[in-house]
Structure 1
Amino acid sequence: MEFSRPPLVHVKGVPLIKYFAETIGPLQNLTAWPDDLLISTYPKSGTTWMSEIVDMIYQGGKLDKCGRAPIHFRVPFLEFKCPGVPSGLETLEETPAPRLLKTHLPLSLLPQSLLDQKVKVIYIARNAKDVVVSYYNFYNMAKVHPDPGTWDSFLENFMEGKVSYGSWYQHVKEWWELKNTHPVLYLFYEDLKENPKREIKKILEFLGRSLPEETVDFIVHHTSFKKMKENPMTNYTNAPREFMDHSVSPFMRKGTVGDWKNAFTVAQNERFDAHYAKTMKGCEFKFRCEL
């Protein structure tokens, strides 16, 4: 089974991976349960990291329980669809309560049931410069995407919202605004890198859960980038090679803050900064591009 790198398909104006676009209709019939928890991010913003953290919390820090299945089975990816692999909705049917769900969808495509049921949401936002570098590498290794082209052209497409899932700028802003009407814990990737224990305690408080201090420390240790990169239950090395080619770039590549400096030219950085300032003008929250 070879993927031909199909072009993106627009749904309500949002460009999506062809296979994922096919799920948006059926997904609208999703019945959310009040005790569901949704992990939402723009791609390449710490989704797998947060999924593992929350699953470890739900399992009381028991490592063997978190090893019961790869992360994409433990935390169904709502809009996921790929030939020859169970879809996110199919995986969800096998998932007992309390369910962890994940999505990259913008609000315009989110199943209404999740909003109606006031399902709690943990949203992770990551600075745009590191996102676009990570996304470019991901496009290269995950063949369900169209060919990314050159780094320079991909950067332009990202700024214009012409990549899968559309505009990063709109995504981070609309989920921020959702906090006003919906239970959303809005976290920043950079804060999680800087002080994971502090952020995990915020998650516990948001979920109304408590764990012993040593369990929290254990979770911090086992959800470090190094540990997760070595863990076949989180590093996606068990995904079909036709779908993800780790010889091109590993799914878990660096997980750092500031890697964009190794990719951006001075001219690209200046152009990006000018566009960013204009697009994010008046935005009440700030991102850090280095620690």
Structure 2
Amino acid sequence: MILHGGDPEQCKRDVITRRVPMLEFAAPGKLPSGCLGMQCGAPAGTDLLASRPSPRVVKTHLPARVLPPSFWLNGCKVIYVARNAKDVAVSFYHFYLMNKLLPHAGTWAEYLEEFMAGRVVYGSWYDHVKGYWERRKEHPILFLFYEDMKEDPQREIGKVVQFLQRELSPAVLDAIAHHTSFESMRDNPTTNYTSVPADLMDHHVSPFMRKGIAGDWKNHFTVAQSERFDEDYAQKMAGTDLRFRTEL
């Protein structure tokens, strides 16, 4: 919306997965048609991006260490959004449950062990956040926190506007905050993934846009799980000045 001057109609012209291709997406073989590009038999992300003029907006979940070298050599701007580990674990667990292209998650207790060990899609959360946090010292990376975005959307949107060297009025910033709120995106078919067939993404198990809050981990972690997680977290995050809030 920032790149389109806050015009919501421009941003609703197609599903988000085609407007912002995912770098690593590839769906081998034929999957059902009529659904969002990220989950169905659509062109690979690299093919979609190859057809786009520069500057392009690229989405990725890849760790910094496996991004293409040209990404860093060309000085590509990176907007990295990080969320506290406990809420990520809960959110990721529900995504595993509803996404039929991923391995079965098992019970919450079983999944939590896998998450802590980094045996999940895209690997260790700890390595992921630390990787981009350290890279920001040498590359143009805007490191944003999910909790800050929930606390004050306009403030964080303003950071993105400045990072992208744009100028937008306060009224446009307010409009962007409204249209990119969790509630608006949850009800927007171009962003909520409801077009994906249920045999690929079962929204009855868990909607893709689930809660969008900070602190939901309290509804899932037992006291023992939380204490063990905190101890493991302290070891894996030792030596970094990266700090997260686990609630607002």
Task: Normalising by structure 1, report the TM-score.
Answer: 0.79
Q: Select between 63-72 and 83-92 the one with higher mean Cα deviation.
A: 83-92
Shift of the alpha carbon at 1:259?
Answer: 0.3
The whole-number CA distance in structure 2 between the counterparts of 1:223 and 1:77 is 19
Runs of 5+ consecutive residues of structure 1 not aligned to the other structure:
1-55
Aligned to 2:6: 61
Rounded to whole Å, the distance in 1 between the matches of 2:202 and 2:68 is: 31
Given residue 107 of structure 2, which amino acid in structure 1 is its aligned partner? T
Q: 2:96 aligns with which of 130, 139, 160?
A: 139
Q: Does the CA contact (< 8 Å) of 2:64 and 2:131 recur in 1?
A: yes
Matching residue of 1:73: 18
More strand, by proportion: 1
The 1:96–1:238 alpha-carbon spacing in structure 2 relative to 1, beyond 3 Å, is: farther
Structure 1 counterpart of 2:34? none
Match of 1:125 in 2: 82
SS in 2 for 1:58: coil
Return the alpha-carbon distance in structure 1 between the equivalents of residues 154 and 6 of structure 2: 14
Distance 2:61 2:100 in 1: 18
Give the SS at the match of 2:58.
Answer: strand
1:274 pairs with one of 231, 234, 237 = 231
- What residue is the counterpart of 1:108 in the other structure? 65
- Aligned amino acid, residue 256 of structure 1: I
CA contact (8 A) 1:74 1:95 kept: no
Match for residue 216 of structure 1? 173
Q: CA deviation at 1:95?
A: 2.7
Structure 2 residue matching 1:102: 3-state secondary structure: coil
Contact 1:78 1:89 in 2 (8 A): yes
Residue 53 (structure 2) aligns with: 96
User: How many pairs align?
Assistant: 236
The corresponding residue for 1:252 is 209
Provide the secondary structure at the position in 1 that maps to 2:25.
coil
Question: 1:167 is matched with which residue: 105, 124, 144?
Answer: 124
Residue 240 of structure 1, CA deviation: 3.2
Partner Cα separation in structure 1 for residue 77 and residue 239 of structure 2: 27
* CA-atom RMSD in angstroms: 1.0
Cα displacement (A) at 1:242: 2.6
| Structure 2 unpaired stretches of 5+ | 29-40
User: What percentage of aligned pairs have identical amino acids?
Assistant: 57
| Code of the aligned partner of 1:165 | Y
Opposite residue 23 of structure 2, the aligned amino acid is L
Counterpart-to-counterpart distance in 1, 2:185 and 2:96: 21
Q: TM-score, structure 2 length as denominator?
A: 0.93
Q: Deviations over 1:232-260 (max 9, x none)?
A: 01101112333211111110000000000
